[in-house]
Amino acid sequence: MSYREGAKKFYDLFGAKDDAPFYIELAHVYGDKALELGVGTARLAIQLAREGVETWGIDNSPHMLRAAERNVAEEPPEVRGLLHLEQADVRDFQLDETFGLVYFPSFSFDHILDRGEQLEALKAIKGHVAPGGVYAFELAHVPELTAEGGWFVQRKPLDESRLVVRTGYHSTDVERRIISVSLWYDVVEEGRIVERYYDGSDVYVHSVEGVRSLLDEAGFETLEWYGDLRKGVFTEESEMMVVLARPA
Based on the domain organization, do 59 and 177 belong to the same domain? Answer: no
> 0.75 cut: is pTM over it?
yes
Based on the domain organization, do 131 and 228 belong to the same domain? Answer: yes
Based on the domain organization, do 128 and 238 belong to the same domain? Answer: yes
CA angle 243, 247, 248 (to 5 degrees): 105
Based on the domain organization, do 240 and 216 belong to the same domain? Answer: yes
pLDDT of residue 2: 46
Q: How many whole angstroms separate alpha carbon 217 and alpha carbon 120?
A: 11
CATH number at residue 22: 3.40.50.150
Question: Which of 80, 86, 106 is closest to 35 using CA atoms?
Answer: 86
pLDDT of residue 1: 45
* Domain annotation covers residue 234: yes
Burial label, 103 (beta-carbon count in 10 A; 0-12, 13-18, 19+): buried
* Domain annotation covers residue 177: yes
pLDDT of residue 11: 79
Based on the domain organization, do 66 and 90 belong to the same domain? Answer: yes
CA angle 4, 79, 244 (to 5 degrees): 70
Contact predicate 197/168, CB 8 Å: no
* Domain annotation covers residue 89: yes
* Domain annotation covers residue 51: yes
* Domain annotation covers residue 2: no
CATH number at residue 170: 2.20.25
User: Which residues face 139 on adjacent strands?
Assistant: 241
Based on the domain organization, do 176 and 213 belong to the same domain? Answer: no
Domain count, the chain: 2
Based on the domain organization, do 195 and 214 belong to the same domain? Answer: no
Based on the domain organization, do 127 and 218 belong to the same domain? Answer: yes
* Domain annotation covers residue 183: yes
* Domain annotation covers residue 1: no
* Domain annotation covers residue 127: yes
41-to-58, 111, 135, 217 alpha-carbon distances in Å: 11, 17, 21, 32
Q: For residue 194, give its domain range.
A: 150-204
Based on the domain organization, do 71 and 109 belong to the same domain? Answer: yes
**Of 188, 204, 220, at which residue does a domain stop?**
204
Based on the domain organization, do 93 and 176 belong to the same domain? Answer: no
Based on the domain organization, do 28 and 117 belong to the same domain? Answer: yes
Per-residue pLDDT of the chain (248 residues; tens, 9 = 90+): 444 556 777 878 887 689 999 999 999 999 999 999 999 999 999 999 999 999 999 999 998 999 999 999 999 999 999 999 999 999 999 999 999 999 999 999 999 999 999 999 999 999 999 999 999 999 999 989 999 899 999 999 999 999 999 999 999 999 999 999 999 999 999 999 999 999 889 999 999 999 999 999 999 999 999 999 999 999 999 999 999 999 99
For the chain, the three-class secondary structure string (H helix, E strand, C coil) is CCCCCCHHHHHHHHHCCCCHHHHHHHHHHCCCEEEEECCCCCHHHHHHHHCCCEEEEEECCHHHHHHHHHHHHCCCHHHHCCEEEEECCCCCCCCCCCEEEEEECCCHHHHCCCHHHHHHHHHHHHCCEEEEEEEEEEEECCCCCCCCCEEEEEEEECCCCEEEEEEEEEEEECCCCEEEEEEEEEEEECCEEEEEEEEEEEEECCCHHHHHHHHHHHCEEEEEEECCCCCCECCCCCCEEEEEEEEC
Based on the domain organization, do 126 and 161 belong to the same domain? Answer: no
